[in-house]
Structure 1
């Protein structure tokens, strides 16, 4: 990378946790310069405005989460059931890291950008759609190879997985009680075993 590209990447990586914790609208230019140690001129030499920094920071946060989730649904697991359960285990094991980083970046950005930051809202929508597609594709693959119940609606179940996970994260982060997330993840496991598997556990 060129020096300018390295500086831009440094700004993104340094401010990504800040935006996720403090908020994409609440984080100020002064917060950015303090976190990076750079001047306002240097920030604006790499980004048109604060919103552009915020959008880049969101994409960075979302990409990190998406890559981690994709690994849990990757080729390391022999069956669709194993992949779906690995998705659950990812959140079971990673919730502390997610909370320390301010919570789920998709949910945080979605809540904040609903009516006030339309460009960010569009990116969040794309993130959730991609997330749902990844899970539903895994379910469909299992249905096609005869492993999972073909009558199940893959898109609906994938959406439900996301809703349960995000709701569990929200309640656990708000209350400081991880049992809410575990309850949501247990429900997902029940759906996998009782609704998706051809032979229920």
Structure 2
């Protein structure tokens, strides 16, 4: 890997971690300089401005989380086990989140919904991708005969993701996995009762 490419990736990685912990408004170029060990001129040699760094950093964080979800699904054969694997990605959000600072989509959605349209739009795209993953697992379960064919896949995929995101938010707020784990137990009951045949 060329030095310039490695430096750019280093800036993105460190900025992504800072962004997910401090938020868009709490993140400064000084913070990025401190974490990367680079001077401002070196950072701006790779990026035009803070917004460009933030957008790439957010997408980097989302890709890491997306890989966790996709690997969780790929590790299971049945649609039921795939759904459980999705639900359990954030089960230990306090000790072992897929990305430092919790869910980057939720963090940016809250941080930028009224203040940074482009970042909010990227969060919408990312969250839609996660909902699509759940939707596809539901469809797979219908095709394999595991799940009821008359369910509203769109509505249920939205429900599952919002329950997970809400659990992550409250667990982070109270510094306890209890909330996401309670949500997961109820989601599993919901899947058994309303989704499985």
Correspondence 1:165-176 to 2 at 5 A: 165-176=164-175
1:83 maps to 2:114: no
Q: CA deviation at 1:98?
A: 2.1
CA contact (8 A) 1:99 1:173 kept: no
1:56 maps to 2:44: no
Distance in 1 of aligned mates of 2:51 and 2:147? 44
Q: Deviations over 1:41-65 (max 9, x none)?
A: 1111100101111111111111100
Correspondence 1:37-116 to 2 at 5 A: 37-74=37-74, 76-93=75-92, 95-98=94-97, 101-116=100-115
The structure carrying a bigger helix percent of its residues is: 1
When normalised by structure 1's length, the TM-score is: 0.93
Runs of 4+ residues over 6 Å off in structure 1: none
Correspondence 1:149-168 to 2 at 5 A: 149-168=148-167
Distance in 2 of aligned mates of 1:83 and 1:17? 28
Distance in 2 of aligned mates of 1:77 and 1:100? 22
Q: Structure 2: which 5+ residue stretches go unaligned?
A: none
183-192 or 37-46, which deviates more: 183-192
Distance in 2 of aligned mates of 1:84 and 1:100? 20
93-102 or 121-130, which deviates more: 93-102
CA RMSD of aligned residues (A): 1.5
Distance in 2 of aligned mates of 1:37 and 1:174? 31
1:118 maps to 2:114: no
Q: CA deviation at 1:3?
A: 2.1
Q: CA deviation at 1:99?
A: 8.9
Residues 182, 188 of structure 1: alpha-carbon distance in 2 compared, 3 angstrom cutoff: same
